[in-house]
Amino acid sequence: MGPKASTNSSETKRGKLDVAKFQGRRWVTRRNLHIDRLASAWLIKQFIDKRPRFYFVADGETIEGAIPFDMFGAEFTHHGEDCTFETMLKRFGLSENKGLREIAEIVHDIDLKDDKFHRLESTGLNAIVEGLSKVLRDDRKLLQQTGVVFDGLHALLSKDAEKPRGKTKRNGRRSKK
């Protein structure tokens, strides 16, 4: 694999990466996308780089000058118990967004198969991604179609943040007092 794209000069004072320095960049990941790469690419496009160019390569390949994600040795990949999506949320300071935090839990449960967060949505989202990948068989088309799914999921999970405070069940319905 080629050299990692340096991000040290892109850090803000609080150690978070400055999204302004990641605009119009080339991003590279392994082909045959699944949940963590799909969710991370969606995160890049929606919250980090408004004009990303994505490249999908075979294991061991790289693109000169591109930022690798969810690839061996990349800065944006699994770290500790975190999947790539969680790593990117932390590095770019996006963890305050409730919808993104909840998507991170769902992606984690699917990708790492450890049921750490016990997210009920994991089974459904995994089935949707598996089904779309069998039908589409093209990484660019799959990324486009799942983008709409992630948009909807983010809107739904973010909406809960707007509801009045009080005890809620996991399904989003307020519990009876």
- Give residue limits of the domains in the chain: 14-161
What is the DSSP track for 10-68?
Answer: GB-TTS-B-GGGGTT-EEEEESS--HHHHHHHHHIIIII-SS-EEEEE-TT---TT-EE
Per-residue model confidence (pLDDT) at position 3: 41
Maximum distance among all Cα pairs of the chain, rounded to whole angstroms: 59
DSSP 82: B
Q: Pick from 35, 120, 25: which is nearest to 63 by CA?
A: 25
| pLDDT string in tens for the chain (177-residue length) | 444 444 555 776 578 999 999 999 999 999 999 999 999 999 999 999 999 999 999 999 999 999 999 999 999 999 999 999 999 999 999 999 999 999 999 999 999 999 999 999 999 999 999 999 999 999 999 999 999 999 999 999 998 666 554 444 444 433 443
